Amino acid sequence: MRSFEYARAGDPADAVARFRPGAMYLGGGTNLVDLMRLGVAEPEFLVDVSRLPLDRIEPDGDGLRVGAAVRNSDLGAHPLVRERYPMLARAVLAGASGQIRNMATVGGNLLQRTRCPYFQDVSKPCNKRQPGSGCPAIAGDHSNLAIFGHSSACVATHPSDMAVALAALDARVHVTGPGGDRVIPMPGLHRLPGDEPERDTVLAPGELVTAVHLPAPPPGASRYRKVRERASFAFALVSIAAALDVAEDGTVRDCRIALGAVAHAPWRCERAERALRGAPAGEESFTRAAGAELEQARPLPRNAHKVPLVRNLIVLTLLELAP
Amino acid sequence: MTRIEGHDKVTGRATYSAEYPIEGVTYAYPVQAGIVRGRITSIDAAGALAMPGALAVLSSEDPPELAPDADPELALFQRREVAYRGQFVAVVVADTYENARAAAREVRVTYEEDPHDVRLRGDHPGLYRPEKVNPFYPADTEKGDLAAGLAAAAVTVDVTYTTPAVHNNPMEPHATLAVWSGDGDLTVYDSTQGVSAARAMIAKTLGLPAERVRVVCRHVGGGFGSKGTIRPGTMLAVLAARAVGRPVKVALTRQQLFDVTGYRTPTIQRVRLGADADGRLTAVEHEVAEQSSTLVEFAEQTATPARTMYETPALRTAHRLVRLDVATPSWMRAPGECPGMYALESAMDELAIAAGLDPVELRVLNDPETEPESGRPFSSRNLVACLLEGARRFGWEGRDPTPGVRRQGRWLIGTGVASSTYPAYRRPSQATATVENGGYVVRVAAVDLGTGARTALTKIAATALGVPPDQVRIELGDSDLPPAPLAGGSMGTASWGSAVVAACEEALRDGKHGAADTTDAIKAQQDLARHAFGAQFARVRVDMDTGEIRVSHLLGIFAAGRIIDEQLAMSQFVGGMTMGVGMALMEESVIDDEFGGFSNHDFAQYHVPVCADIERIDAAWIEEDDRHLNPMGAKGIGEIGIVGTAAAIGNAVYHATGIRVRDLPITPARLLT
């Protein structure tokens, strides 16, 4: 770890004012500090935003406003979140361990980096860490990397559980920065790698996440399901956040499906959702919808198991949600 | 008995090797090879030496003086050749750990790179027969006519199983503090499984007489074999301290543990079994391919349990080794027995199915009178009792062998069984017992690597002396104490305990002091086959839509001589079985073909089981009265718990799903494709 300067920001405007090239915002530090130890992140200046007055969860219109500094444990345990957005509560509690959730913030969770083994090893090339150095994962260890939306430059996945639920919930990410405030609808915060895999998100330098706005919960039943080889404290092989609203005639009125651990961003299944709207809520439609989504899957030699896993998860989860 | 040092450990007062406070201490951080194979052309330390706090850089630019016959893995910076990725090629010493680490990144190493090969294959042209396999067994054995046995069989199986490289991953990373005195004596605080062995190895590497070296190790946070011999990190501290003339600490990172502290070799194992119409074995063949480094030959004794397990007229075992551009594999909990019994006991399950026999019945039917390969009588053998008692407790009777038919909701349910075995050896040890302050002090250079050895030896000594345990104080973990073998091979307690009992008996006779050396007694002991046995039963549930596997129940019944302490024994059995669950379902060090070494090297990527993975785990034992072992009547229990677990789980996964996965670990990916 190299020497760095540290300052604690008093409010979001102060944080943005202090930001300069080479600086990074520090939330709970559960990912950034690890990356600094590994030499993957080498900020010259850390602006600590973990104590900003952004730690409240408040009703906001017919939705909820979650401050960016809210700890993951507090988000997962909040009565309004559990009652109105159980999908989100489950997603948050499926992530990491109790100790890490106590430290990790909402903003930091969104902005955590990929756990691709090459990204985390500075002795090896990685286009995301060192643009232009190459992507050894494509021919190497990619068993838990992307099947959707990857590029010849990067096949990394975004590791968050929470972000998958936020993508399904049409959450809006509030940002402040040198250019003023703006709102980014999920899953639009994260981008696909294309030829700029070093950019995980659409945020400009110095932009700071201040809050996440949850609109009114989707009608119907919802859930989050995470598949992993170990029962706890493991990143997903594939995860799904889904909501299903079925009309009285048994057809799908609305649905939301987002997948985790399959792409560089939480993967909203727009094709599957389109195929489902108006279709009878049953196994045949669900299978067809999963197939529609998987048409664009491009599995790598050692992660082909994610294709049947995605199909099975979509079908099973929707079957569980159907009345 | 509650562990004597338990309170110190849970309150943070127990001092581990990296924690000894010492005046003027400095820190060393290694530079690791960035290529897999080739030659170092230059090492430029100027940038590193210009960094804040940097004191010295050691490398092959100016090789430190070492004994010419030093072990190649320990002979740091003697050669320009790189044998594997991550090998230590230099070390930076600085005033703080952070400065040492930062400066290490500024050392510039250039290489001439050669093509490399890090992949074990069953048809690798480099496979050869080693002279012996660990620690001293013949590589190959053959008894009877294998071809005739297979030809005469009514049923046969011919199956190949593979196991991946796996790492020991003790909780406490390897750590060392090295202190040279003004007159050239060396004290090393090292996280090790054996202080006498570590002293001998350090002295040999340096070319010093052993009495110039002292090794101290009061507490160890686990080793599982990876601290059985010293590893390069220990020599890093010793050489760095000699170079800067100040004490040096080295604490390896978790990532570095994956590179330089040993691992279990991957294996490719072909098992051929034949049985007659009644299920009696007519032939057993176990052939193994495995790897070692180009530096040191380490040949794991994977096929040796077949020499012990089942009665057969024809028995062939064979080990083949290939030297790859990899770090040297080494001991990991039950080397040999653990991977070997995975293949053998999985194949036995396949044979039971082919023969239409219950797998418990098949094993009972083939239980031998004498050790199959050697013909030696057993000192005691209670595998059948373990199988029958386990079957009773587990509710095995009436099991429907049909695979893939039991369902609870979306889960498929299955059960499996496998045998366990581990040899019961003793090595020569010394010990003393002395009356001091109205009680006894027992001294032995044993190490408590987290197993509870200090507590067990207290109990053994108290029993021998006929006093309550609180009148006995054990001193261990220091090579200045009477020499003793390391904590490994499940022979620590048996070896140290034999010497402790003899010393205590002499102290009773003498009234003041007793000293013992068991060398002659062990040489004189009868030539018997001494092994512990066990049976493990597993119930798993498998979600075939997601490939998720969870262990609902794991039961191990062991016959391991007299159990010295129930509480400590339970931890050893349950701990071993839990590690076996990791082996079965998740542990794999992923070989990186392009860059060498392993691509996963932290606990986020290399998974070990958590509590939520195993819903119920039970261990129990059958008390044996075996007079041929040692004064305690005990067999070692540190390793047998991991032997057979993976087979029991794999057999249960087959019973649940009808899918026979023959490559560990059995992950969702393997069930889904």
Residue at A108: amino acid letter: G
**Pick among A229, A303, A306 to test the B interface (most B CBs inside 10 A):** A229
List, in order, residues 6 or more apart from B575 with CB less than 8 Å away.
B641
Residues 409-428 of B with CB under 8 A from A: 410
Residue A67 counted as domain residue: no
Residue A228 counted as domain residue: yes
In chain A, which residues have their Cβ closer than 8 Å to the Cβ of B53? Answer: none
- Could A141 and B610 be called an inter-chain contact, meaning their C-beta atoms sit closer than 8 Å? no
Query: Can you tell me whether residue B204 is helix, strand or coil?
Result: helix
Evaluate if residue A279 carries a pLDDT over 80.
yes
Residue A278 counted as domain residue: yes
In chain B, which residues have their Cβ closer than 8 Å to the Cβ of A312? Answer: 545-546
pLDDT bracket for residue A291 (50, 70, 90): very high
List, in order, residues 6 or more apart from A105 with CB less than 8 Å away.
A27, A28, A50, A68, A69, A70, A71, A72
* Of B34, B590, B593, Cβ closest to residue A123: B34
The residue behind tokens 């019945």 is B361
B408 touching chain A per CB within 8 A: no
In chain B, which residues have their Cβ closer than 8 Å to the Cβ of A140? Answer: 592-595, 599
- Could B669 and A123 be called an inter-chain contact, meaning their C-beta atoms sit closer than 8 Å? no
Write the pLDDT tens digit of every residue in B534-591. 999 999 999 999 999 999 999 999 999 999 999 999 999 999 999 999 999 999 999 9
**Pick among A40, A99, A141 to test the B interface (most B CBs inside 10 A):** A141
DSSP per-residue letters across B15-31: PPGGG---TT-EEEEEE
CATH code at position A270: 3.30.390.50
Closest CA to B649 of B544, B535, B534, B537: B537
The pTM of this model reads 0.97
pLDDT bracket for residue B644 (50, 70, 90): very high
Query: Can you tell me whether residue B459 is helix, strand or coil?
Result: helix
Write the pLDDT tens digit of every residue in B302-323. 999 999 999 999 999 999 999 9
* Of B102, B613, B672, Cβ closest to residue A305: B672
B596 touching chain A per CB within 8 A: no
Using CA atoms, how far residue A177 sits from A17, B27, B561, in Å, is 9, 42, 71
Rounded to an integer, the average pLDDT of B450-456 is: 96
Query: Can you tell me whether residue B663 is helix, strand or coil?
Result: strand
Using an 8 Å Cβ cutoff, are B107 and B31 in contact? yes
Evaluate if residue A92 carries a pLDDT over 70.
yes
* Of A2, A3, A312, Cβ closest to residue B546: A312
B585 touching chain A per CB within 8 A: yes
Residue A104 counted as domain residue: no
CA distance A155 to A127: 10
% of chain B at pLDDT higher than 90:
99
What phi and psi, each to the nearest 5 degrees, are found at residue A251? -100, 160
List, in order, residues 6 or more apart from B383 with CB less than 8 Å away.
B363, B367, B419, B421, B533, B534, B535, B559
Using DSSP bridges, classify how beta strands A172-176 and A208-214 pair: parallel, antiparallel or unpaired: antiparallel
Evaluate if residue B230 carries a pLDDT over 80.
yes
Report CA torsion sign: B70, B71, B76, B79. Answer: positive
Dihedral over alpha carbons A225, A228, A229, A230 (to 10 degrees): -90
- Could A309 and B612 be called an inter-chain contact, meaning their C-beta atoms sit closer than 8 Å? no
Using an 8 Å Cβ cutoff, are A227 and A309 in contact? yes
Report CA torsion sign: A104, A106, A107, A111. Answer: positive
**Pick among A126, A226, A230 to test the B interface (most B CBs inside 10 A):** A230
Using CA atoms, how far residue B395 sits from B51, B542, B669, in Å, is 66, 20, 31
- Could B668 and A2 be called an inter-chain contact, meaning their C-beta atoms sit closer than 8 Å? no
pLDDT in the model for residue A3: 85
Residue A256 counted as domain residue: yes
Write the pLDDT tens digit of every residue in B79-111. 999 999 999 999 999 999 999 999 999 999 999
CA distance B49 to B353: 66
B32 touching chain A per CB within 8 A: yes
Record the tokens describing residue A281, joined without a space: 């809520």
Record the tokens describing residue B616, joined without a space: 């119920």
Q: How far is residue B608 CA from its own chain's centroid?
A: 15
In chain B, which residues have their Cβ closer than 8 Å to the Cβ of A305? Answer: 547, 668-669, 672-673
pLDDT in the model for residue A1: 61
What phi and psi, each to the nearest 5 degrees, are found at residue A272? -65, -40
- Could B599 and A313 be called an inter-chain contact, meaning their C-beta atoms sit closer than 8 Å? no
Domain range spanning residue A299? 221-321
* Of A124, A136, A308, Cβ closest to residue B672: A308
In chain B, which residues have their Cβ closer than 8 Å to the Cβ of A38? Answer: 255
Q: How far is residue B190 CA from its own chain's centroid?
A: 18
CA distance A290 to A288: 5
B50 touching chain A per CB within 8 A: no
- Could B605 and A115 be called an inter-chain contact, meaning their C-beta atoms sit closer than 8 Å? yes
CA distance B555 to B536: 6
Query: Can you tell me whether residue A173 is helix, strand or coil?
Result: strand
- Could B668 and A227 be called an inter-chain contact, meaning their C-beta atoms sit closer than 8 Å? yes
- Could A123 and B593 be called an inter-chain contact, meaning their C-beta atoms sit closer than 8 Å? no
**Pick among B546, B548, B586 to test the A interface (most A CBs inside 10 A):** B546
- Could A237 and B101 be called an inter-chain contact, meaning their C-beta atoms sit closer than 8 Å? no
B613 touching chain A per CB within 8 A: yes
Q: Give the count of domains, chain A.
A: 1
pLDDT bracket for residue B653 (50, 70, 90): very high
Other Cβ atoms closer than 10 A to B115:
8
Residue A17 counted as domain residue: no
DSSP letter at A217 equals P
- Could B672 and A316 be called an inter-chain contact, meaning their C-beta atoms sit closer than 8 Å? no
Closest CA to A171 of A235, A243, A228, A233: A243
Evaluate if residue B341 carries a pLDDT over 70.
yes
In chain A, which residues have their Cβ closer than 8 Å to the Cβ of B32? Answer: 123
- Could B612 and A124 be called an inter-chain contact, meaning their C-beta atoms sit closer than 8 Å? no
What phi and psi, each to the nearest 5 degrees, are found at residue B7? -65, -40
Beta-strand ranges (E) seen in B129-174 are 132-133, 137-138, 141-143, 155-163
CA distance B629 to B559: 13
For chain A, which residues lie within 8 Å of any Cβ of chain B, measuring from their own Cβ? 1-3, 38-39, 115, 117-118, 120-121, 123-124, 136, 139-141, 143, 227-235, 237, 303-305, 308-309, 312-313, 316
Using an 8 Å Cβ cutoff, are B383 and B535 in contact? yes
* Of A140, A303, A304, Cβ closest to residue B599: A140
Using an 8 Å Cβ cutoff, are A228 and A309 in contact? no
- Could A39 and B105 be called an inter-chain contact, meaning their C-beta atoms sit closer than 8 Å? yes
Write the pLDDT tens digit of every residue in A306-320. 999 999 999 999 999
- Could B612 and A235 be called an inter-chain contact, meaning their C-beta atoms sit closer than 8 Å? no
Closest CA to A142 of A302, A309, A306: A302
Residue at B383: amino acid letter: L
SS (H, E, C) B390-428: HHHHHCCCCCCCCCCCCEECCEEEEEEEEEEEEECCCCC
Residue A285 counted as domain residue: yes
Q: Which residues of B are catalytic?
A: 639
- Could A117 and B605 be called an inter-chain contact, meaning their C-beta atoms sit closer than 8 Å? yes
Write the pLDDT tens digit of every residue in B374-429. 999 999 999 999 999 999 999 999 999 999 999 999 999 999 999 999 999 999 99
CA distance B495 to B428: 6
Dihedral over alpha carbons B447, B448, B452, B454 (to 10 degrees): 60
B34 touching chain A per CB within 8 A: yes
Enumerate domains of chain B plus CATH numbers. Answer: 6-115+169-260 (3.90.1170.50), 132-166+264-424+528-672 (3.30.365.10), 430-523 (3.30.365.10)
Evaluate if residue A2 carries a pLDDT over 80.
no
- Could B585 and A39 be called an inter-chain contact, meaning their C-beta atoms sit closer than 8 Å? no
Gyration radius (Cα) of chain B, Å: 25
- Could B592 and A235 be called an inter-chain contact, meaning their C-beta atoms sit closer than 8 Å? no
pLDDT in the model for residue B673: 72
Measure the CA angle with vertex B235, ends B215 and B200; round to 5°: 45
CA distance B492 to B77: 34
| Bridge partners of residue A238, in order along the sequence | A227
Residue at B274: amino acid letter: G
Q: Which helix (H) or strand (E) holds A140?
A: none
Distance from CA of A101 to the nearest CA of B (A): 15
DSSP letter at A137 equals G
Query: Can you tell me whether residue B523 is helix, strand or coil?
Result: helix
The residue behind tokens 């350090």 is B202
Using CA atoms, how far residue B169 sits from B572, B624, B637, in Å, is 16, 33, 20
CA distance B223 to B257: 11
CA distance B673 to B669: 6
Using an 8 Å Cβ cutoff, are A39 and A75 in contact? no
Other Cβ atoms closer than 10 A to B212:
16
Which bin fits A320, alpha (ψ -120 to 50), beta or left (φ > 0)? alpha
Rounded to an integer, the average pLDDT of B614-630 is: 95
Q: What is the largest CA-CA distance in chain A?
A: 65
The number of residues in chain A equals 323
pLDDT in the model for residue B588: 98
Query: Can you tell me whether residue A23 is helix, strand or coil?
Result: strand
Evaluate if residue B625 carries a pLDDT over 90.
no
**Pick among A38, A44, A305 to test the B interface (most B CBs inside 10 A):** A305
What phi and psi, each to the nearest 5 degrees, are found at residue A285? -65, -40
Residue at B87: amino acid letter: Q
List, in order, residues 6 or more apart from B387 with CB less than 8 Å away.
B360, B363, B364, B417, B419, B535, B557
Distance from CA of A167 to the nearest CA of B (A): 22
Residue A145 counted as domain residue: no
Q: What is the ipTM of this complex?
A: 0.96
In chain A, which residues have their Cβ closer than 8 Å to the Cβ of B594? Answer: 136, 139-140
Residue at B621: amino acid letter: W
Using an 8 Å Cβ cutoff, are B295 and B232 in contact? no
Record the tokens describing residue B369, joined without a space: 């009178």
In chain B, which residues have their Cβ closer than 8 Å to the Cβ of A313? Answer: 545-546
In chain A, which residues have their Cβ closer than 8 Å to the Cβ of B545? Answer: 312-313, 316
- Could B595 and A304 be called an inter-chain contact, meaning their C-beta atoms sit closer than 8 Å? no
Using an 8 Å Cβ cutoff, are B670 and B606 in contact? no
